[in-house]
Amino acid sequence: MNSRTGCLVGVVSIAALGAAACAGPPPPRAAAEPLADALFHQDSRWRGGDGAYSIELGAGTGVPRSLWLFGDSFVERPGVGLGRSGCAMPRNTVALMTGDDPRTARLDFAWRGTREEPSAYFADEGELWHWPLHGLRVDDAVIVFCSTLKRDGEGIFGFAQVGWTAYRLTGIDGPLETWEQQQLATPSTPFPVAVGTAVVADGESVYAYALREPGDHALFLLRWPRVAFARGELLTPDWYDAGQWRPHADLRAAPAPILAEAAPEFSVHREAGADGEPARFVMVQILGFPAGSLAWREAPRPEGPWSGARVLFVPPEAARERVFTYSGKAHPQLRGPGLWLSYASNHAEFGTVVADLSLYWPRLVRVTGEGGRGR
Sheet holding 106-110, edge to edge: 46-58, 65-75, 93-98, 106-110
Residues 140, 57 contacting (CB under 8 angstroms):
no
Mean of pLDDT values over 194-218: 96
Evaluate if residue 114 carries a pLDDT over 60: yes
According to DSSP, the residues that pair with 66 across neighbouring strands are 56, 97
Encode pLDDT of 69-92 as tens digits. Answer: 999 999 999 999 999 999 999 999
Evaluate if residue 5 carries a pLDDT over 70: no
pLDDT at 156: 72
pLDDT band at 22 (very low <50, low <70, confident <90, very high): very low
pLDDT at 370: 62
* Cα–Cα distance measured from residue 205 to residue 77, given in angstroms and rounded to the nearest whole number: 43
φ, ψ for residue 352, nearest 5 deg: -70, -40
pLDDT band at 336 (very low <50, low <70, confident <90, very high): confident
Encode pLDDT of 129-174 as tens digits. Answer: 999 999 999 999 999 999 999 988 776 777 899 999 999 999 999 9
Evaluate if residue 11 carries a pLDDT over 70: no
Residue burial 352-368, b: 16+ Cβ < 10 Å; e: rest? ebbebeebbbbbbbbbb
Sequence-distant (≥ 6) Cβ neighbours of residue 127 within 8 angstroms: 150, 151
Instruction: Compute the mean pLDDT over every residue in the chain, rounded to the nearest whole number.
Output: 91
According to DSSP, the residues that pair with 198 across neighbouring strands are 209
Evaluate if residue 61 carries a pLDDT over 90: no
Give pTM, 2 decimals: 0.91
- Domains of the chain and CATH, by start: 4-368 (2.115.10)
Q: Name the burial class of residue 170, with classes exposed (0-12), middle (13-18) and buried (19+) by CB atoms within 10 angstroms of its CB.
A: middle
* Cα–Cα distance measured from residue 38 to residue 20, given in angstroms and rounded to the nearest whole number: 32
Mean of pLDDT values over 8-24: 38
List, as one string, the DSSP characters of 282-325: EEEEEESSSB-EEEEEEESSTT-PPPPPEEEE--GGGGSTTEEE
Evaluate if residue 49 carries a pLDDT over 50: yes
Helix (H, G, I), strand (E, B) or coil at 156: coil
* Cα–Cα distance measured from residue 347 to residue 5, given in angstroms and rounded to the nearest whole number: 10
